[in-house]
């Protein structure tokens, strides 16, 4: 047993050409390290796994390199529509939001839904009303604007094409997420995303869907996914990892690998996931060229991209 423990991801796929630049690569890794230390520090201070994953994800939401929060991509209408979810493996309570705008840290709004409503999922303008009632500041579009994301959108603007984070052949599914186990053996998972560049009609991916992109169950595991969301939805990927452990008795590693390398591929999907169990075991499989990821416990620390 090695608890507490935390794992995070910042997207899977093909590393953008910019990552070949050592300075840019270091910026990506610095953000991963900052998120790990922020979340793990809470675990060491006896905070819950739920608080830890919310903190870790919020750090990545504040970094414009990742497709969540500040770094969210542009929709076909030139907006930023964000989705997030969080789940407590002890109580099965969850909070999720979709299609919100102007919220700096969507994961924190999802956490407030968990704590302050009898619901799981809120969306669109009504979710924004709830956010204002909870005292969230509504940031202007300029806060979320980056030239890099704008250029991605311009490359496909006016077409039917959508891009997953990086355009012109550089595909990285930039969703961010975290999973953790606290000192009491309780699990939690959180995921946040800006979705697809040039997405239309209020498209929602797997990230805010409990069981598809985010799931936590103390008796099995906590999971956060990243990839082409439609395939994770069709495969109910996050819950599938838990089901394989619960009903087939397989290990976390085997269940996670089977979902990513077999089931998801059978459906035609690409991506990866991070998962953790109550013993502190961690698995981070991906079937793409790479995945931005990291983990931390009392004995080990790791961040990787390719």
Given the residues 14, 48, 75, 175, the one annotated as active site: 175
Answer yes or no: 175 catalytic. yes
Give the orientation angle of helix 106-116 with respect to helix 49-61, to 10 degrees: 150
DSSP letters for the chain: ---SEEEEEEEEESPPGGGGSHHHHHHHHHHHHHHHHHHHHHHHTT--HHHHHHHHHHHHHT-TTSSSGGGPPP-TTS---EEEEEEETTT--EEEEEEE-SBS-HHHHHHHHHHH-S-SEEEHHHHHHHHHHTT--B--HHHH--HHHHHHHHHHTTSS--BSS--TT--EE--EEEEEE-TTS-EEEEEEE---BT--TT---STTSBTTTEEE-TTS-EEEEEE-HHHHHHTTHHHHHHHHHHHH---HHHHHHHIIIIIHHHHT--EEEEEE-TT--EE--BSSSEEEEEEEESS-EEEE--
Half-sphere exposure of 165 (CA within 13 A, CB side): 28
Residue 191 main-chain phi, psi, to 5 deg: -145, 145
Active-site residues, by number, are 175
């Amino acid at each position: 047993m090695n608890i507490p423990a935390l794992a995070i991801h910042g997207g899977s796929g093909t590393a953008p050409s910019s990552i070949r630049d050592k300075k840019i690569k270091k910026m990506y890794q610095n953000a991963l390290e900052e998120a790990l230390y922020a979340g793990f520090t809470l675990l060491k201070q006896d905070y819950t796994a739920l608080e830890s994953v919310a903190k870790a994800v919020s750090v990545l939401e504040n970094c414009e390199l990742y497709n969540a929060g500040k770094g969210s991509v542009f929709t076909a209408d030139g907006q930023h529509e964000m989705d997030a979810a969080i789940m407590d493996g002890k109580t099965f309570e969850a909070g999720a939001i979709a299609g919100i705008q102007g919220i700096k840290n969507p994961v924190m709004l999802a956490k407030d839904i968990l704590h302050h409503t009898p619901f799981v999922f809120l969306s669109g303008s009504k979710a924004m009303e709830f956010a204002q009632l909870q005292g969230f500041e509504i940031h202007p579009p300029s806060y979320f604007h980056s030239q890099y994301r704008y250029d991605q959108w311009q490359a496909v603007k006016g077409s039917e094409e959508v891009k997953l984070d990086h355009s012109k052949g550089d595909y990285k599914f930039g969703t961010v997420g975290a999973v953790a186990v606290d000192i009491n053996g309780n699990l939690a998972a959180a995921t946040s995303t800006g979705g697809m560049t040039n997405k239309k009609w209020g498209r929602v991916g797997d990230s805010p869907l409990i069981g598809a992109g985010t799931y936590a169950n103390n008796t099995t595991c906590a999971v956060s996914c990243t990839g082409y969301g439609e395939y994770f939805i069709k495969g109910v990927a996050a819950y599938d990892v838990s089901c394989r452990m619960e009903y087939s008795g397989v290990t976390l590693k085997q269940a996670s690998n089977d979902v990513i390398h077999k089931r998801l591929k059978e459906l035609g999907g690409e991506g990866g996931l991070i998962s953790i169990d109550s013993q502190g075991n961690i698995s981070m499989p991906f079937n793409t060229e790479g995945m931005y990821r990291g983990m931390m416990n009392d004995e080990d620390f790791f961040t990787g991209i390719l």
